[in-house]
Homo-oligomer: A and B are copies of this chain.
Amino acid sequence: MIGERTDKFYSLYEREREKVDKRLAESLKNRKPDSLYEPGLYIIDGGGKRLRPLLVLFAARAAGGKFTDAYNASVAVELLHNFTLVHDDIMDNASKRRGRLTLHVRNDLSTAILVGDSLLSIAYEYLLRDCSGDSKEIMALFTKSLVDVCEGQSLDKDFESDESVSIDQYLEMIEKKTAALLKMCCKVGGILGGGTKKEINALANFGKNIGIAFQIQDDLLDITGEEIELGKFVGGDLVEGKKTFLFIKALEKAGGSDLKSLRNVVSNGGIKVNQIGKYKQIYFRLNVLEDARSAIKYFSGRALSSLKSLKKEEDRELFTWLANSLIKRNK
């Protein structure tokens, strides 16, 4: 029975994901100039889980509406997400994303900046299409998540040169950088689906907590993932000197030569690629991968417990399946 349900949800996810892909491609077609929209389409064609648009759609249904109520909003949130990816990849000097060249490497810096801006502009255009009576609330939520993403990214950069970042500060940062967008997706979907205040809040809490779990999982995958699955190279966060959950926990627990090695990452602004193995060993020694797994369990648990307010069992099961798939993912 559980197997059947899982198959059913997986099929639903894949079916809707394909439709999202199609609508995303359409959102940038038949626009000029090509110099702007061809690289935009390249970014959009790169694929991805399409988690954010699917959250919008599932939330709309769980709130009593239909997927069609939120089709354009689902395009908008994925465009917003891709805008952040293009600009973040410049800031992080990333050369690969989803197994392909990043835009500033494939084209050039100017194109990447401008295409990012452009994706955001089309995102607002699409969001407005699904806004009727409650346009102001939805536009404000979308805008708030954009403000949060900028602030979160700024904190993330600040933390690179800061030795004293605590897990609390880290959580505040990823709430803005990652969880705010997922929360907004659930909330906007809930509003467009015509949900009650209680339902919308439940969905928002799910989105926020699953977003936190998702980011810690991302930090974990940077160490435990496989390059071929991730589509980017393993250990990149260490090379970039990012303050991940693993790094902060390790810094908290380490002593002696391990602590000295970790402090070197901060003072040097990262490590060399040939040092990744050494730092992996430190993480294993300090058991911080287990700490990350516990934290993921904790936040996904909080996400799941907020589902109680959803009316239909099938929606509760769908979101539960989604949460479990996310924390078991390998990319």
A residues bordering B, Cβ < 8 Å?
31-33, 35-36, 87, 90-91, 109-111, 113-114, 116-118, 120-122, 124-125, 128, 131, 135-136, 139-140, 143-144, 146-147, 150-151, 153-155, 157-158
Contacts and interface: CB of A to CB of B under 8 A. Distances in A.
A200 to B, nearest CB: 19
B109 A124 contact: no
**Of residues A131, A151, A153, which shows the largest number of chain B Cβ atoms within 10 Å of its Cβ?**
A151
Contacts of A116: 113, 117
Contacts of A31: 151
A122 B147 contact: yes
- Number of chain copies forming the complex: 2
Nearest to A140: B128
A233 B12 CA distance: 59
Contacts of A111: 157
B153 A33 contact: no
A123 to B, nearest CB: 9
Contacts of A146: 117, 120-121, 124
A242 to B, nearest CB: 13
Nearest to A112: B113
A156 to B, nearest CB: 10
26 contacts: A32-B151, A33-B155, A35-B154, A35-B158, A36-B151, A36-B154, A87-B113, A87-B114, A91-B110, A91-B113, A114-B157, A118-B147, A118-B150, A118-B151, A120-B120, A121-B143, A121-B150, A122-B147, A124-B139, A124-B146, A125-B140, A125-B147, A128-B139, A131-B139, A135-B136, A135-B139
Contacts of A87: 113-114, 117
Nearest to A135: B136
A31 B144 CA distance: 13
A90 B108 CA distance: 12
B124 A33 contact: no
A124 B124 CA distance: 10
A118 B148 CA distance: 9
B151 A124 contact: no
A31 B150 CA distance: 12
A145 to B, nearest CB: 9
A125 B144 CA distance: 7
B33 A158 contact: yes
